[in-house]
Each structure stands twice: as structure tokens, then as C-alpha cells.
Amino acid sequence: AQKITQTQPGMFVQEKEAVTLDCTYDTSDPSYGLFWYKQPSSGEMIFLIYQGSYDQQNATEGRYSLNFQKARKSANLVISASQLGDSAMYFCAMREGSGGSYIPTFGRGTSLIVHP
């Protein structure tokens, strides 16, 4: 079974609008971290945002926020005020703690295209 599921292969959004990229995860470990990465067409992976399993508040980094719903095991990325430069692949990832070995596990990714 997949540990990280991203159900949206592709998403389109109008410039300046907000967009939500979905991510659900599967773990029995009480201690874990969730990450989002951006991969532009150039290929490099850029870390965006992190959420710890014990964090009470949703993480935010500038225009990025993580909508963390622990009971539903979801960690959706919200991008506010989309820009043309946000067009990229987005990957959700998880590192499990006590039961795992802190190896990052990735979803299949969502391709985001921002229209002018």
C-alpha cells in the first residue's frame, strides 16, 4: 500500500487565485513529519514547508500553508495568490520516526499549471 497518496495528477489554476493540492498519508507511527517539495521544469527539488505530527498549528511559509488534518491523515498544500512561477510538479513526502528509519517517502506528485 502506498504511504503517500496524491490523487491529482494535474491541476490548473488562474493567476492570483488560491489552489489546494491534496495529500493523504498512511502510518501507524505516532511520530512523523510531513513535507512538500516543488520541482520546476529545471529538475531541482525545492523544499517548501514542513508539518510535524505533534504540531498543534498548521504550518505556514509565505504564500504556502499546510492544511493538516491528523484524524483524516491528510496534509494538503494551499498556495495563495498563485503566480506563473508556481507552475511545477509538487511532491508530498513523509518521514516516520520511532518505527521507521527517517527515510523520506514520496507521493507520485501533482503537476500544477498556472494560467495568466
Partner 1 sequence: DVKVTQSSRYLVKRTGEKVFLECVQDMDHENMFWYRQDPGLGLRLIYFSYDVKMKEKGDIPEGYSVSREKKERFSLILESASTNQTSMYLCASSFKRGFTEAFFGQGTRLTVV
- Restricting to residues 23-52, name those near partner 1 by CB under 8 A: 32-33, 35, 37, 42-45, 47, 50, 52
In the bound complex, what is the minimum distance in angstroms from residue 15's beta carbon to partner 1? 26
The sign of the torsion formed by the CA atoms of 102, 96, 62, 6 equals positive
C-alpha separations of 18 from 62, 69, 81 in Å: 13, 19, 5
Q: Which is nearer to partner 1, 6 or 65 (CB)?
A: 6
- Restricting to residues 73-112, name those near partner 1 by CB under 8 A: 91, 93, 95, 97, 101-109
Q: Does 64 help bind partner 1 (rule: CB under 8 A)?
A: no
Short-list 64, 88, 87, 61, CA closest to 76: 64
The distance between the two most distant Cα atoms of the chain, rounded to a whole number of Å, is 45
Tell me, what amino acid is at 3?
Answer: K
Interface with partner 1 (CB under 8 A)? 6, 9, 32-33, 35, 37, 42-45, 47, 50, 52, 91, 93, 95, 97, 101-109
